[in-house]
């Protein structure tokens, strides 16, 4: 498994035939549940070990109390005590036999059961890579949802059921992981949070000296020499013999002297120093900033005129016989590109069936590599997915039929086609299905916070609602790609996210959605 996003929240990808995971988290909820059960089992085993140790100590304690009283009596009048032949016999017996039995009891290892269980369960434990991924997940959530370290550390997140907080040691660990990635921005944030919690009196094994050592260097790497010197001085107050801090201080003083000398003739030297002491924030690409804003619900707002063009309706799949008497509820989510949502389109029973089919086969999701034309894993796509075919279950077959009826497209996706996506002609060459013409996305869970599907090109955010599905075309009828439909999943901040994607491909759609003559039609 690869933990790459905050901990404590999970999003999964689930796929129907020729579909793809569209979500965002490090592992499946099924696997995380297994880990919780593993830890519970270890706690039970540990408590059994404690009971065994307590029972052993209780036996030893009773023996000690009995002998304490006996030896007190015997030492007051040794000759009189031993004058009784039974006492003489019992003394011989105790020293020859019973003390040996006590020694065996003291030496008896009561931990065998616990250690054996630990050895068995250890194969399922996360490793260093998983822990690093979980830390990166927290940092990603922090950036995406613009959370300050104190809010995250105190666990003050929207919609939480089980509040949890980070200790100073946890904050220090996050800072260290950021440091190993040369991410000095987050190193500074989390080392400062660890220091703050210790200054407030939190009892912790985290050492201020170590925290200040990391913090001063992270601040220096971001160009704030004055703050780095201040933090190093504080470190030396705690540990005057700290070798690295003493060396750093001499170096900082040397650099500071050179800068002062260089700025003597400059009229704006004070302004320069102020700029250097500003906390430097990460420089994101414009698209990344737009993505994060959309994830926070800060996207572009439609004008009232555009909003008036959005409607809700009962939809019968263009007079499809199955839906003439029982049309489905449909509403417009966005106008250009047109994104529609179907409400109450998948039942709770169907959702549970699909999830149960998928859980045993969830594996790391893949992406298309434009250079090789093959599907491969990518560090930024860390959801888990499973492929399901209609023949595996009547429920999956019924869902496929529903999608075909309501979209008017062939869900088998096989056959000939005449409308290649010219900018990426071999994207699905191995599948033999042509390019993706449209996307159908089921939301199979509600999400407490986060987890939107966003379209950065147009500023649209679509939020998960259990039992609904959204649909859009990825290609114009001409076969040209509609790049306004480029989309991404936002990380789940609180809760769980299950989605099921159905990719509809070109092959077999020639008469269902004929090619247009104009590129943008």
pLDDT per residue as tens digits for the range 422-456 = 334 444 445 555 688 899 999 999 999 999 999 99
The two structure tokens encoding residue 309: 């063009």
Give the lowest-confidence range in 63-72, 283-292, 481-490: 283-292
- Most confidently modeled range among 164-168, 268-272, 341-345, 480-484: 341-345
- Can you tell me the distance from the alpha carbon of 252 to that of 258, in angstroms, rounded to the nearest whole number? 10
Which tokens is 204 given?
């912790």
pLDDT average, residue stretch 287-298? 90
Q: pLDDT at position 358, please?
A: 84
**Secondary structure of 42-88 in the HEC alphabet?**
HHHHHHHHHHHHHHHHHHHHHHHHHHHHHHHHHHHCHHHHHCCHHHH
The answer on pLDDT for 414 being more than 70 is: no
For residues 215 and 229, what is the distance between their CA atoms, to the nearest angstrom?
11
pLDDT, residue 288, reads: 85
**Dihedral of CA 199/202/203/209: which sign?**
negative
* Burial (0-12, 13-18, 19+ Cβ within 10 Å), 96: exposed
pLDDT at 377 over 60: no
23 confidence band (pLDDT: 50, 70, 90): very low
Query: Residue 508: is its pLDDT beyond 80?
Result: no
What DSSP state is assigned to residue 413? Answer: -
Higher pLDDT, 419 or 219: 219
Average pLDDT, the chain: 82
What is the sign of the dihedral through the CA atoms of 215, 218, 220 and 223?
Answer: negative
pLDDT given for residue 519 in this prediction:
61
Give percent of the chain with pLDDT exceeding 70: 80
Q: Name the pLDDT band for 102 (thresholds 50, 70, 90).
A: very high
pTM of the complete model beyond 0.85 = no
Mean pLDDT over 130-134 rounds to 85
For residues 26 and 5, the answer to whether their CB atoms sit within 8 Å is yes
* Pairing between β-strand 492-494 and β-strand 449-450 as defined by DSSP bridges: antiparallel
């Amino acid at each position: 498994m690869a933990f790459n996003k905050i901990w404590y929240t999970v999003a999964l990808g689930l796929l129907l035939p020729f579909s793809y995971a569209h979500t965002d988290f490090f592992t499946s909820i099924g696997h995380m549940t297994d880990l919780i059960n593993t830890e519970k089992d270890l706690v039970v085993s540990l408590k059994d070990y404690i009971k065994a140790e307590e029972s052993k100590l209780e036996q030893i304690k009773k023996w000690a109390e009995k002998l304490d009283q006996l030896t007190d009596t015997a030492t007051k009048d040794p000759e009189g005590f031993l004058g009784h032949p039974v006492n003489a016999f019992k003394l011989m017996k105790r020293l020859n036999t019973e003390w040996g039995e006590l020694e065996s009891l003291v030496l008896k290892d009561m931990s065998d059961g616990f250690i054996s269980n630990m050895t068995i369960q250890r194969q399922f434990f996360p490793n260093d890579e998983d822990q690093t991924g979980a830390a990166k997940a927290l940092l990603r959530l922090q950036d995406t949802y613009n959370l300050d370290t104190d809010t995250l550390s105190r666990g003050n997140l929207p919609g939480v059921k089980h509040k949890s907080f980070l200790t100073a040691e946890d904050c220090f660990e996050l800072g260290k992981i950021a440091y190993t990635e040369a991410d000095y921005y987050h190193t500074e944030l989390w080392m400062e949070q660890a220091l703050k919690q210790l200054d407030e009196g939190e009892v912790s094994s985290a050492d201020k000296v170590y925290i200040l050592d990391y913090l001063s260097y992270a601040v220096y790497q971001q160009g704030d020499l004055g703050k780095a010197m201040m933090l190093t001085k504080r470190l030396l107050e705690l540990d005057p013999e700290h070798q690295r801090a003493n060396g750093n201080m001499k170096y900082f003083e040397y650099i500071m002297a050179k800068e002062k000398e260089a700025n003597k003739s400059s009229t704006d030297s004070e302004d320069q120093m102020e700029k250097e002491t500003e906390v430097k924030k990460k420089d994101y690409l414009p698209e990344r900033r737009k993505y994060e804003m959309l994830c926070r619900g800060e996207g572009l707002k439609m004008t009232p005129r555009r909003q008036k063009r959005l409607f809700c309706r009962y939809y019968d799949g263009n007079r499809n016989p199955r839906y003439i008497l029982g049309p489905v509820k449909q509403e417009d989510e966005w106008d250009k590109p047109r994104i529609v949502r179907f409400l109450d389109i998948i039942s709770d029973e169907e959702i549970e069936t699909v999830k149960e089919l998928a859980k045993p086969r969830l594996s790391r999701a893949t992406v298309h590599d434009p250079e090789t034309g093959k599907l491969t894993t990518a560090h930024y796509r860390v959801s888990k997915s499973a492929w399901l075919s209609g023949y595996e279950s009547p429920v999956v077959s019924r869902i496929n039929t529903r999608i075909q009826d309501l979209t008017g497209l062939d869900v088998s996706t096989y056959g000939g086609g005449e409308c290649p996506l010219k900018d990426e002609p071999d994207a699905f060459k191995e599948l033999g299905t042509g390019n993706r013409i449209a996307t159908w996305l089921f939301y199979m869970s509600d999400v407490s916070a986060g987890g939107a599907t966003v379209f950065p090109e147009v500023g649209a955010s679509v939020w998960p609602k259990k039992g609904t599905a959204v649909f859009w075309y990825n290609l114009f009828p001409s076969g040209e790609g509609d790049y306004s439909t480029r989309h991404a999943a936002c990380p789940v901040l609180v809760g769980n996210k299950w989605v099921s994607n159905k990719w509809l491909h070109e092959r077999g759609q020639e008469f269902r959605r004929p090619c247009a003559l104009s590129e943008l039609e």
